[in-house]
């Protein structure tokens, strides 16, 4: 597989007024290959979000270099960086961070309209397909104040995907969601990754990180550990003793309000209440991966 993102010995220092400086990243190096799903974990203030925003070009590094899809970010002007983010990267922020004053569909199409390379009718069609896949099509004309946190995050994912980016960056996308919404959002990201999308995700939650192919653990601005677990579809790492997960447990997690919102054609989501054998198996695998990850994290002192 080819490398899509490479950070080499990057540091980030923030100036804190008169009181001095704060080093958020200390000589961090990182390589992400195409198709990978990398989670970044660590305690608060460990530099997870700083790493995500630096490698995505949203923040400038104090030293070191970053290349994305063969482009050296420090060689690009601010305008070129913006263009790169617009066309090649997708972002999902904590709490959605949709633009107020725009309806759900307008939030989704805005970035593509700005790109200007596609016809607006085609962009609208693509937005509708994405909303259909994520189960929010019937909310397309709603105000952002009229939808739940999970629905807003699904809209944010549609927005991130509208320009068919090469890589998706997600900063604690489930940080403000309940269990059911978390599960839905993560299922969408998992499916996307299975379809080939490279994802870098920052999270505190082992259940979320369990879906990624690789977990990086950060502390004091440095990557101090790495946990590889392979794609979620693989049954190879399923420990036998952890394979028994009752369907009832899964159903308990579902939020009844959100269940009512599920359209039938939401391809990226499991059809709640009708989990098939494959789905049940995946849940079992997830539980097992979460346990293994938790053990590893405990070893890291997390």
Partner 1 sequence: MFLALLKRDIVFNKLSSAILCSFVMLAATLVAAAFCIIAEMSGASTVFYAEADPPHYFQMVTGDIDQQAIDAFSNANELVDEQQTLELLGIDNSHIYYADDLDPYADSIMEMSFVTQSTSFDYLLDEQNAVASVQPGQVLAPLYTIDAFGLAAGDQLTIRDGDFILILTVAGFLRDSQMNPSLVSSKRFLVCTEDYNLLKANTGEVEYMVEFKLLDQSRTGEFALEYLESGLPSGVAITLPMISLMNALSGGLSAVVLIFASLLLIAIALLCLRFTILASLEEEYREVGVMKAIGIAPRQISRLYKTKYYALGAASCLVGYGLSFAFASFFTASVRLYMGNAQVSWATFLLPAIGVLLVFLVIVAFCAVVFRRLRKVSAVEAIRGIDQRGRLRQGFLPLHHSRSIHPSLLLGIRDVLIRLPSYLTPIIVVLLSCFLIIVPLNTLNTIRSPQFVTYAGIGDCDALITLRYSADIDRRFQDALAVLADDPDVSVFAERVTANYQVLNPEGAYENLGIQNGDFSIFPLPYIAGRAPQSAQEIALSFLTADGYAKSVGDPIEIRVDADLVTLTVSGIYQDITNNGRSAQAMLPYQPEDVLWYTILLKFSEGVDQDAKLASFSDRFAPVKVNDVTSFTSQAMTSTINQFESVTRVVLIIAIAINALITGLFLKMLLAKDHRQIVIMKGLGLPNSSIRLQYLTSLVVCLIVSLGLGIVAANTLGESLVGLLLRNLGAARIEFVVDLVGGFILCPLLLSLAVLLTAVFSLGSIKRYENHGVFE
User: Considering only 30-38, 100-108, 178-186, 216-224, which stretch makes contact with partner 1 by CB under 8 A?
Assistant: 100-108
User: In sequence order, what are the beta bridge partners of 226?
Assistant: 216
Q: Please state, as a whole number, how many other Cβ atoms lie within 10 Å of the Cβ of residue 167.
A: 21
Q: How far is the CB of 17 from partner 1 (least distance, A)?
A: 12
110/281 with CB nearer partner 1 = 110
Six-digit token string for 40: 């970044």
Query: Contact between 58 and partner 1 (CB under 8 A)?
Result: yes
Which of 46, 67, 94, 153 lies at the binding interface for partner 1 (CB under 8 A)? 94
Which of 25, 144, 232, 268 lies at the binding interface for partner 1 (CB under 8 A)? 144
Query: Contact between 68 and partner 1 (CB under 8 A)?
Result: no
| CA separation, residue 191 to residues 181, 267, 270 (Å) | 15, 9, 10
Number of chain positions touching partner 1 (CB under 8 A): 41
Query: Hey, which residues between 155 and 194 contact partner 1 (CB under 8 A)?
Result: 159, 171-172
Which of 18, 20, 78, 240 lies at the binding interface for partner 1 (CB under 8 A)? 78
Query: Contact between 97 and partner 1 (CB under 8 A)?
Result: yes
Contact 212, 229 (CB under 8 A): yes
Q: How far from chain centre, in Å, is Cα 249? A: 25
> 123: helix, coil or strand?
helix
Distance CA 132, CA 139 (A): 10
Q: How far is the CB of 135 from partner 1 (least distance, A)?
A: 19
Q: How far is the CB of 122 from partner 1 (least distance, A)?
A: 12
- CB-based burial of residue 3 (10 Å sphere; 0-12 exposed, 13-18 middle, 19+ buried)? middle
Which of 74, 106, 220, 242 lies at the binding interface for partner 1 (CB under 8 A)? 106
Q: How far is the CB of 187 from partner 1 (least distance, A)?
A: 23
> 185: helix, coil or strand?
helix
Q: How far is the CB of 204 from partner 1 (least distance, A)?
A: 12
Which of 9, 114, 179, 298 lies at the binding interface for partner 1 (CB under 8 A)? 114
Query: Contact between 141 and partner 1 (CB under 8 A)?
Result: yes
Distance CA 144, CA 245 (A): 36
> 108: helix, coil or strand?
helix
DSSP state of 245: -
Contact 136, 58 (CB under 8 A): no
- List of residues contacting partner 1 (CB under 8 A): 14, 49, 53, 58-59, 78-79, 82-87, 89, 91, 93-94, 97-103, 105-106, 109-111, 113-114, 120, 124, 127, 141, 143-145, 159, 171-172
């Amino acid at each position: 597989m080819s490398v899509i993102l490479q950070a080499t010995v990057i540091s980030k220092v923030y100036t804190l007024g008169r009181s001095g400086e704060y080093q958020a990243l200390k000589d961090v190096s990182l390589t992400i290959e195409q198709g990978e799903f990398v989670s970044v974990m660590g305690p608060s203030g460990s530099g997870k979000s700083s790493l995500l925003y630096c490698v995505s070009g949203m923040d400038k590094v104090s030293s070191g270099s970053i290349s994305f899809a063969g482009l050296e970010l420090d060689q690009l002007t601010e305008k070129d960086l913006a263009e790169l983010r617009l066309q090649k990267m997708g972002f999902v922020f904590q709490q959605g961070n949709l633009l107020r004053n725009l309806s759900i569909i307008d939030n989704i199409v805005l970035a593509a309209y700005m790109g200007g390379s596609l016809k607006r009718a085609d962009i609208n069609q693509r937005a509708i397909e994405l909303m259909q896949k994520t189960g929010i099509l019937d909310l397309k004309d709603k105000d952002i104040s009229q939808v739940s946190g999970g629905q807003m995050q699904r809209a944010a994912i549609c927005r991130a995907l509208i320009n068919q980016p090469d890589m998706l960056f997600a900063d604690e996308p489930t940080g403000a969601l309940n269990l059911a919404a978390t599960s839905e959002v993560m299922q969408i990201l998992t499916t996307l990754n299975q379809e080939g999308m490279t994802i870098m995700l920052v999270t505190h939650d082992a259940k979320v990180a369990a879906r990624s192919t690789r977990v990086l653990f950060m502390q004091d601005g440095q990557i101090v550990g790495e946990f590889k677990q392979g794609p979620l579809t693989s049954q190879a790492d399923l420990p036998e003793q952890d394979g028994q997960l009752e369907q009832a447990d899964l159903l308990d997690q579902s939020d009844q309000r959100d269940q009512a919102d599920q359209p039938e054609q939401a391809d990226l989501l499991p059809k709640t209440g009708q989990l098939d054998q494959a789905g049940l198996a995946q849940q079992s695998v997830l539980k097992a991966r979460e346990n293994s990850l938790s053990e590893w994290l405990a070893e890291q002192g997390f």
